[in-house]
Structure formats: structure tokens, C-alpha cells
Amino acid sequence: MLRFSAILPITAIIIGIAIVQLANGFLGTLVSMSSAAAGFSPAVMGIVLAAYFGGYTIGAATMASLLQRVGHIRLFAALAGLVAASIALQPMLIGPLAWIVIRIVTGLGCAGLFIAAESWLNATAEPQSRGSIFAIYMVATNACFGAGQFLLNMPAPGGFELFSLAAALFCLALVPVSLTRSAQPKLVQSPRLRLKELRRLAPVAFAGCVTTGLVSSTFYSLLPAYAQTQGVPDSSVSTFIATAVFGGLAFQVPVGRLSDRFDRRLVAALLAGGLLVAALFIAMLSLSNGLIFLVTFLLGGFMSTIYPVCVAHAHDRVEPDKVLAVSGQLILIHGIASFFGPIIGTTILGQAGIGGVYVFMAVVAGLFVAAAIWRAFWVEAPEQKERPFVILTERMGQPLAHVADEEKVTGNEAGPANEDEVPVR
């Protein structure tokens, strides 16, 4: 049973990231809608929306070394302030170039915030409570992310109020983290893993991260912009996006348990098949059709669970001391794919409308289904390693970096003392 004393040292960081997610919950949707309202062309809008993921990818690749030099609290404080300042400037500098730079900075800062938070949790939590702590962390942050969508319904007569609210929330996230009395953990260097090696060891996981990056960034970036051009009320847009987010949260635990019982590649293929069907079905519905919310709930559930299953599959195929390196590389792959999603999606939106965007999502999912099933039938499944269940999400705009300090877990450098102490899925 999880003791209160195990949660207390990391309460501040959980509260801080939950506040960040409350802001992130509506900020991406707000930028998408504001880009459409500002009259940006589809190509320009695609670059603006992709800029966040580009910045996030850069942050995922660079922030770990900075974290080693300055520590968790300093990095969190510096990046939260940087993001808050960038967001506050956004309604003052309305233009494609300025917004591209601002979104790059926002993405880079958010990547660093999540890396600082999650590495802190991993290094601080005891092996026997790590799974439960991460479950609490993910439920809290994803619930705030979904709830944040409804902040879009607040009045904004001047057009800048919601941006100011997001900036204020990032500043508020500084308070609990800066005032915490908990000692910062020390990070340990992890063995490196090249993308080429990961692609050879776990091609299904590699393809799954590309798939979810393309699909999720396209969906979450373009749907609010499209709804804005169609005159859909803000309240309906926020409910629509929140439905997908909560669908993803509801699917996590059942899918995690399912993937522990069967070949994870087939489970990922099944989820992608569900995504394919949901995307094609939703393409035939109008935004005013009440059934669209049920289909969106299912689509969000399928879309958000492919990534964690693929992460678990990749971890099954590598040595325990490479878990950190694998997590970082998968996030990098996902981030690169997420960058291209809005760019491709806006091109399709301009040529074939929103129905074409959903068909694009279905095609990407279908290609992954074929690849995963082919691999499952021709290559024997790896032994599934027993690990505490951890909820993962690829949406953050948030692929969150679930990393582990293996020496903390195993107590030595040779390997795990027992299989139950190997971290994360």
C-alpha cells in the first residue's frame, strides 16, 4: 500500500506540473483557433502549429544535459519563467514569424519542464512505490489537461485574456516547486542508444511512435482551427477536444493490463485498427452530430494508447540499463513525427477538407497495422518483463518522458535484483 510519506517529497513537483498542464490544456487549442482567426494561410498555419513540436523535440534532445548542470529546481524555474514570458508576448506580436518563434520557445520550455519533473519523480520514488506514484502523477496531470480545455469558455473581450491566464498559470507552477524543502535528486549517466540500434531492436515501437506522432499532432492541432473557420462556438470546441483527452485517460489502465497478457505488437495493431475505424467513421459525421462525441472519445482512447504499448514493447527488447536511453529516443522520434503532422495535415485540409485529414489519419494507422501484424507473425515476441504499471501519454502536445534511474531501482550496476523492481512501462 502506498504510504503518505512516499508521496510527500514529490507533492510539490506533481502540483507544479498539474498547473502547467492546466495551462497546456487550452493553450494549444487557443493558438490553433487564434491562427485561423488571424487569417493565416493553411501552409503558414501548419508551420505555426508544428513549431511547438519542433521546439519540444529540440528540448527533448538537449535539456537532459542542462539538467545535469543546473539541477531540477533551477531548470524548472528558468523554463517556467521563459514560457510564461513567451506566452504573454504572443497577443502583442501577432504575425507568423513571431508566433513560430514563440511556439518553438514554448515547446522547448515544456519539454524541459516535463523532463525535470519526471526524472525527479523517478529518482526520488522507491522501487516498490514507483508505479503507484506515476499513476497518481499521470491521472492528476491528464485530468488537469482535460479540464484546461474548458478555460477556453472564459470571456476574452480584448483577445489577450486567455494568453495572460496561461502565462499566469506557468508562473503559479513555480511557487510549489521553488518553495519545496525536498532535496533534489542526483542524476546518473545512462548508456547511449542510437536511433539505428533502436530501429533494429524494436521496429514496431519505432513505427508506432511515428504513427502516433503524425496522427495525434494532426488531430489536436487542426481540429480547433477547422472548427473556428466553421463558426463552431468555443464551448463546443473545448468539449470536443476534452472528450478525446478523457477518452485517452480512460483507456490507459485497461489497455496496459491487456498488453501485459498478450503480444504487445498485436495489441498495438488492434488499437491502430480501432483508430482507423474511428477516424473513417468520424469523417462521415458533422460537428453538430451528437454521435461525434462518442466516436471522438473512442478515437482519443485508441490514439493515446498505441504509444505506451510501443514503449513497453521497446523496453522488453533492451537491457534494463538502457531504459532511460530508449525513453529519450522514442520521445525524440515522436517529436519529429509530431512536427510534420500539422504541416502535412494543413496541406490536406486545404485540398480535401477535414474529411481528407481523417482519411490521412486512417491511412497512417492502417500502414502501422500491416507492419505490426507482419512483424508479429514473422518474429517471435520478446519476453515481457514484469514491471509496475505506469500510465503513459504521448499527448502534449505532450509526449512525456518516463525515464528511470536504474541504479536507484536495482541497487547495483549489474542488473535488477529481481524482476519486480524493474521500472516503468
Quote the distance between the C-alpha of residue 191 and its chain's center: 24
Helix axes 130-148, 96-124, angle to 10 degrees: 150
CA dist 178 and 175 (Å) reads 5
Cell numbers standing for residue 168: 499566469
CA dist 28 and 137 (Å) reads 21
pLDDT at 404: 36
Cell numbers standing for residue 408: 536507484
DSSP one-letter code for 403: -
Give the Cβ contact number of residue 321 at 10 Å.
17
pLDDT at 401: 38
Q: Which of 215, 205, 404 is CA-nearest to residue 314?
A: 205
pLDDT at 28: 86
Place of cell 508544428: 50
pLDDT at 79: 93
Burial label, 362 (beta-carbon count in 10 A; 0-12, 13-18, 19+) = buried
pLDDT at 39: 86
pLDDT at 405: 37
pLDDT at 381: 58
CA dist 301 and 103 (Å) reads 27
Residue 191 has phi, psi (to 5 degrees) of -60, 145
pLDDT by residue for the chain (425 residues), tens only, comes to 556 555 666 788 889 989 999 998 889 889 988 888 888 888 899 899 899 989 988 888 888 778 878 888 888 999 999 999 999 999 998 889 999 999 999 999 998 888 888 777 766 766 556 656 766 777 788 888 888 888 888 876 567 899 999 999 999 999 988 887 766 666 656 556 666 766 777 788 889 989 999 999 999 888 888 888 888 887 888 888 889 989 988 887 788 788 878 888 899 999 999 999 999 999 998 777 778 899 999 999 999 889 888 878 887 777 666 666 676 777 788 888 988 999 999 999 888 888 999 999 999 999 999 999 998 888 765 555 554 444 444 444 443 433 333 333 334 333 433 333 333 33
Are the C-beta atoms of 221 and 268 separated by less than 8 Å? no
- pTM for the full predicted model: 0.76
Residue 237 has phi, psi (to 5 degrees) of -65, -45
pLDDT at 198: 67
CA dist 369 and 380 (Å) reads 17
- Structural domains in the chain, CATH included, are 4-181+190-421 (1.20.1250.20)
pLDDT at 310: 85
CA dist 309 and 264 (Å) reads 6
Burial label, 175 (beta-carbon count in 10 A; 0-12, 13-18, 19+) = middle
Q: Integer distance in angstroms from the first to the last C-alpha of the chain?
A: 20
pLDDT at 384: 54
pLDDT at 42: 84
